[in-house]
A = this chain, B = another copy of it.
């Protein structure tokens, strides 16, 4: 039997500039110490309603159903695919990064036929290529795309894809994990049928929930299923009876503390204002890009289709990827991310999401890199990165 006391919890305080989780405002952390309520307590139902209402506002939708799924972002992805797809359905997936591949993997586990649209990682999809694939299929149930690819930092334009999906009588599914709260999602205007996100990126809450939005058209598809979804836990027909029914029907015990955190985080998002929040992400992301470029580092994604909340930069030739990240973590308490999939050990992923998106974080990271890079054999002009970033910040 394992034994011995486990010591007191005492995690170090990091500056989280990786691909998520991002920093959390103390008000959001504090919200989790609020008293637990029963899952059908009328006071808890009011709290759920407030969360659903604020989610509608943040997704940009009036008529859709919103709720946070009780799991992390990938649970939202699985909820989307498990509810929208039935065995034999064709799902066309834009595959321009690691999370496009995950969409394919989960779709195939629902028994669907997956047709990928391969796109070079670090570039957005060409609508014509997507259209060509759609035209090859007799009947497409679903077109799926990742809005902000966390593995590359590409912001995929959605309007054209939405139109293509609907022209082919398919549903349009959007991964908004890294975009929601940092870039406009515009659920209604874009005419999305299902979007899912995560709490720990640009919304500024701890990881643990996946906000989803479902259009009336998406809900019709779910209600019209011939087979039950392969997941009971994520069955939206049942979840909506708990989240949106006149009489609330118990499904599973909701994670109150996480819902409190999400609620507080959404309040802070709306207090800041979505436009201000997007502008803050843009301003700090631009400054980071300017600083990295001034250090001679090569950015993966051109600015015209980059997402400002996540910046991928090539690890310079000869620099020890893991070694540098380890020293950044242990000596500077700063976390940045490594590459995923085909970019493993070739790319750094720097997140400026939610609370982590501050000008001081940009400057701290750049000055830390200026100090560390020469120790890994990559010479830089000390101060060049910080100067370029400061200039960029001052110009907006």
In the bound complex, how far is the Cα of B206 from the Cα of A253, in angstroms? 10
Cross-chain contact B71 with A233 (CB below 8 angstroms): yes
Checking B30, B36, B75, B270 against A23 with a beta-carbon cut-off of 8 angstroms, the contacting residue is: B36
B-side contacts of A200, CB under 8 Å: 36, 253
Question: Are B6 and A232 in contact (CB-based, < 8 A)?
Answer: no
Whether A73 touches B261, Cβ cut-off 8 Å, given contacts A29-B32, A38-B14, is no
The listed residue (B252, B256, B270) touching A206 by CB distance below 8 A is: B256
Number of interface residues of A (CB under 8 A): 86
Chain B residue with the shortest CB-CB distance to A336: B38
Residues of B within 8 A of A70 (CB): 71-72, 75, 208
Contact (Cβ within 8 A) B254 A207: yes
Q: A372 interface residue, CB < 8 Å from B?
A: no
In the bound assembly, the distance between CA atoms of A26 and B38 in angstroms comes to 17
A1 in the interface (beta carbon within 8 A): yes
Closest residue of chain B to A261, judged by CB? B257
A73 to B250, CA, bound (A): 13
Question: Which among A29, A44, A71, A337 has the highest number of chain B CB atoms within 10 Å?
Answer: A71
Q: Are B335 and A2 in contact (CB under 8 A)?
A: no
CA distance A32 to B206 in the complex (A): 10
Q: Could you say which of A54-62, A136-144, A162-170, A289-297 contacts chain B?
A: A54-62
Interchain CB contact (< 8 A) of A232 among B3, B36, B47, B78? B78
A47-B11, A263-B6 are contacts. A73–B253 as well, Cβ < 8 Å?
Answer: yes
A42, A233, A258: residue with the most chain B Cβ atoms closer than 10 Å:
A233
Distance from A260 Cβ to chain B, minimum over Cβ atoms (Å): 6
Given A11-B35, A21-B39, A253-B21, A1 and B62 contact (CB-CB distance below 8 Å):
yes
Q: How far is the CA of A250 from the CA of B36 in the complex (A)?
A: 31
Known contacts A229-B109, A230-B230: does B74 contact A2 (CB below 8 Å)? no
Interface string of A168-205 (1 = CB under 8 A from B): 00000000000000000000000000000010100000
Choose among B13, B207, B266, B329 the residue that contacts A253 (Cβ–Cβ < 8 A): B207
Does A241 have its Cβ within 8 Å of any Cβ on chain B? no
- Known A-B contacts A207-B253, A257-B32; A232 and B11 likewise in contact (beta carbons under 8 Å): no
| 4 nearest A-B residue pairs (beta carbon) | A208-B255, A32-B32, A29-B33, A74-B252
